[in-house]
Amino acid sequence: MVQDPEILVRKANQLSSVDLLNIVQCHDLPKTNDHSVRIHLLSASEVPRNAQEALWTLFDENMGKLAAGTSLATSKGEKLEELFDPATRFAIYTSETSESPALELDNLEGHKLLGFASIRFDTEDTLDSQEYEDGIRAAVVYIYELQVASHARGLGLGRRLLSNCETLGKGTGMQKAMLTCLKKNGQALRFYMHNGYSPDEIDPTMLIQQEQSRKLRSSRGKTNQLNHWVNGEQADTKATSHIDYRILSKQLK
Ligand SMILES: CC(C)(COP(=O)(O)OP(=O)(O)OC[C@H]1O[C@@H](n2cnc3c(N)ncnc32)[C@H](O)[C@@H]1OP(=O)(O)O)[C@@H](O)C(=O)NCCC(=O)NCCS
């Protein structure tokens, strides 16, 4: 029986951080002789002030320049409000050494913050709900941020954080994992494709291009090979170049 998305989301939002940590059961975090990775699962209100500043700084270092001038650009104040919205949950990876075990989250200086993901359990539009007033929305785990520190990239941490978000989605009965990515962030688009993501049914660029290719097929019988979403801005046609982001998703069940 299909469960009501609103009820699923309400139940997921009632879970505590300890409940969510039990769902994730993170056993495979990388270890070297003197470093290990520790996961912290917290809701926005549980993130200490200093750690909030460290998360913002990592976000800004990774995304500040890239997002400037795009539809995703926001002021620091607006971004902090979005980042620490009460419904947001964080998975934060920190680095622990034998000399500094039991790292506290309000002490995130130096290279201790390796990366983080922020998510919300929510209902999202579907083609059905966009078209019909009584159309059914989808229960999703929306990945708002996925940020790995530059010194910690290429070690599998991004893939693990993404997989933690998907596990939280699956474990709470969400239908899919969803996210928004700038078309000019080619590296991230390739990363998501590599990890099983593709444009969601409500991705505006795809909807326009599907319509265009339907017209093209009936008139000329061919479609544009470069039109593949992972090519970012290069995949744009005149009709889609005003949209600077893609909405991607991955089915969880
Ligand atoms: C995108 C990002 C999260 C990837 O994190 P990462 O820790 O460097 O990636 P991983 O080491 O976990 O890579 C996981 C897999 O994706 C692949 N991958 C990573 N980056 C890739 C890229 N640019 N192109 C193709 N594949 C890539 C890896 O080869 C690896 O494959 P495997 O699982 O088969 O070994 C990281 O680069 C980042 O934080 N970038 C800046 C912030 C950003 O753009 N976030 C996304 C906003 S939408």
Q: How far apart are alpha carbons 48 and 38 in whole angstroms?
A: 17
Q: Is 158 in the pocket of ligand 1 (CB under 6 A)?
A: yes
Query: For residue 102, what pLDDT is reported?
Result: 44
Residue 134 CB partners (closer than 8 Å, separation 6+): none
Q: Which atom of ligand 1 is nearest to the CA of 187?
A: 23
Query: For residue 50, what pLDDT is reported?
Result: 86
Residue 156 lies in a domain: yes
Residue 187 lies in a domain: no
What pLDDT digit, counting tens, does each position of 126-156 carry? 999 999 999 999 999 999 999 999 999 999 9
Dist. CA 196 → ligand 1 center (Å): 12
Alpha helices for the chain (secondary structure H): 5-14, 17-24, 49-67, 76-83, 127-131, 157-171, 186-194, 204-219
Residue 179 lies in a domain: no
Q: Which of 11-20, 51-60, 126-135, 222-231 has the lowest mean pLDDT?
A: 222-231
Q: Is 187 in the pocket of ligand 1 (CB under 6 A)?
A: yes
CATH of the domain at 143: 3.40.630.30
Structural domain boundaries, residue 19: 5-174
The count of structural domains within the chain is 1
What pLDDT digit, counting tens, does each position of 4-50 carry? 999 999 999 999 999 999 999 876 777 766 678 889 999 999 999 88
Residue 110 lies in a domain: yes
Q: Is 196 in the pocket of ligand 1 (CB under 6 A)?
A: no
Residue 247 lies in a domain: no
Q: Is 191 in the pocket of ligand 1 (CB under 6 A)?
A: yes
Half-sphere exposure of 130 (CA within 13 A, CB side): 9
Residue 104 lies in a domain: yes
